[in-house]
Amino acid sequence: MSAVKTALAVARSPAGSRDSQPDWPAAGSLATAAERASFGKAARGLVPREGHAALELAFDRPDPVELLEMQARTRLPELVPVRYGRMLVSPSAYFRGTSLPMASDLAATPATGFTVQACGDAHLGNFGVFAAPDGRLVFDINDFDETLPGPWEWDVEIAGRENGFDLKQRRKVVLAAVSRYREAMLAFARMTPLDVRYARLDLSEIHKELKSAANGKLRKAVGQGMISARTRDSLQALGKLTAVVDGRRQIVADPPLIVPVGDLAAAEDAADGARWCEPAIGDLLGACRRAQREDSADLLARYELGSLARKVVGVSSVGTPCWIVLMLDSNDSDPLFLQVKEAEPSVLSEFAGPSQYDNQAQRVVVGQRFIQAAPDIFLGWMRAAAGTDGRRHDYYVRQLRDWKLSADLAGLSPGRLRRFAGCCAWTLARAHARTGDRFAMAGYLGTSVVFDEAIADFAASYANQNERDYAELSRAAKSGRITARKGL
C-alpha cells in the first residue's frame, strides 16, 4: 500500500485542521482530472480489482471475543452484559457490534492507498432519514463514532446476512449496492467540487426514484415513511420519555436502559452519579455552547436544563457513557432533547493511525461534518475534567431526535433491501467523493463489474466468518466466560 501512496501521491488527509492546511495551491500545480483518473487506473496494476475477492485471515488472527472483552474494559461494567445480550440476538445483530474485530480483519485486505474520511462502521443499519437544519428530511449516514481518515475500501467491504435470504438473493443485494457505489463515484467524478459538496438524497427524491418501481407496496411504504418520519420529534420524545413529577417534568426511569442521574447517585455507582450532577452537566453544556457557532449558541441559550438521564443506545456503543438531556423553554412547551455521548479512540486508529485530534469527540464531529450532507446545528464537542476514575472524558453533543426514520432490515424483502442498499451505497460514495480523490477512485473502479463481483465474493466469505464468530460468542456466554443479558 505504501508503494501505491508514493507512486500516486494524489490524496491528502480529508480532516486537516485549519492550522495544518497548506497555503493556496500555486496556479497550475493541481493535477488535472484526467491525470488523477489515470493514476487510479494505474493502481489496478499494483492492487488488482479481483484481489478484493479473497478473505485471507491471518493464522494468528486475534480472538474476536477477546477483542470485545478488551473493549469492555473501558465501558460501564453494569452495561456490558446488555451489549453482549443485544449482539447475541442474531448473526446480523452480532455483526453490528463488531466494529473492532472487523477493523482488525480489514486491515489485512488490499488497499489502493486512496484515503477518505472513512465512516468506520458503514453497515446498513447506520443509514436512515433525519431532519436537516432546513427542515427537509434527508437520507444519510448517522453514526460516526469510528470515523477516521482511512482506506475507502474498508467502508465498502462490509458484509452481513439478513432476513434468512439464500445465497443468490444475498449476492444480488451486494452486487446492487456495490454497482450503485461504483456508478455514483463515476458520476461524482464528472461533477464540480461544489456540486459534490451540495449533493444529497432527500426523502422526496427517494420517493420519486421508487415511484416507477414495479412493487407497489414499496412505494406505499416509502410514502407512509415520509408521513411517520415527520412525527418523530422532540414533542413525541417528550410524551414517551418524560412525566410530570411534583410539578416538574422529569425523564422517567426504565432501568437499565434509562436511568435518571438522581437514581444513579443513589445507587451503587454513586460516584458516577455524583460526577454527573446537574451543575456539572450545566457546566459541560456551557462549554458546548461556547464552542458552537454564535447563532446555534444563542438558540441553545434560550433553553434551560430540565432533566438528565443515562441512556443505553445502539449495539456496539452499549456501555459507552451516553446521556440524554431535556432542555425546556420558559413555557415548557418547546422541548429540546440533546444527546451527550462519550467518544473513545476509533477502532480504525490502531490500523490506520491515530487521529490528529487529541479530543476524540472533536474527531467525531469533524468527521461527521465532512461526511454528512446536512449536520445537526447543535453538533459540538467538549472535554470534561478528570472524574473519579482519573480519566479525562471527551463528549460530543447532538439532538436526540434528529434521527427520524431507519429501515427495519429484518422486514425487508430482497427487492426492497436491494433498493435500500443502493441508497446507502450512493450516500457512501458521496461521502468518499467529498473527502477523497474521486477522480482516482473512479479511474480505479472503471465501468466494468470486476470490482462489484470481487466484493460480492468477499461479502459471502465474510458472512460465513461472521456466523462462526457469532457462534463463538454464544459458546462464550454458555460457558460463563462472558455474561449476557438478553431482551433489553
Domain ranges (residues) in the chain: 2-11+30-230+410-479, 234-404
pLDDT of residue 10: 38
Average of per-residue pLDDT across 168-172: 90
Mean pLDDT, to the nearest integer, of 431-439?
96
pLDDT digits (tens, 9 = 90+) for 91-141: 989 999 999 999 999 999 999 999 999 999 998 888 888 777 777 778 899
Report the distance separating Cα 453 and Cα 51, nearest Å. 11
Residue 384: the pLDDT is 78
Segment 415-444 shows an average pLDDT of 93
* More confident site: 453 or 243: 453
> Considering only CA atoms, which of 20, 18, 22 is closest in space to residue 30?
22
The pLDDT of residue 13 is 43
Q: Which of 272-281, 378-387, 440-449 shows the highest mean pLDDT?
A: 440-449
pLDDT confidence band for 402 (50 / 70 / 90): low
For the ranges 61-65, 89-93, 271-275, the lowest mean pLDDT is seen at 271-275
CB 60 within 8 A of CB 31: no
pLDDT band at 171 (very low <50, low <70, confident <90, very high): very high
Cβ neighbours for 103, distance < 8 A, ≥ 6 positions apart:
120, 146, 154, 347, 348, 350, 351
pLDDT in tens, 16-35: 444 455 566 666 667 899 99
Question: Is the backbone of residue 352 left (phi > 0), alpha (psi -120 to 50) or beta?
Answer: alpha
Summarised one tens digit per residue, pLDDT across range 153-169 is 999 987 555 556 788 88
Q: Decide the pairing of beta strands 258-260 and 304-311.
A: antiparallel
Tell me the pTM.
0.88
Find the helix or strand (DSSP H, E) in which 469 lies.
helix 450-479
- The per-residue pLDDT of the chain, averaged, comes to 83
| Residue 164: per-residue pLDDT | 63
Q: Report the alpha-carbon distance of residue 5 to residue 374 in Å, rounded.
A: 31
Q: How far apart are CA 417 and CA 421, in angstroms?
A: 6
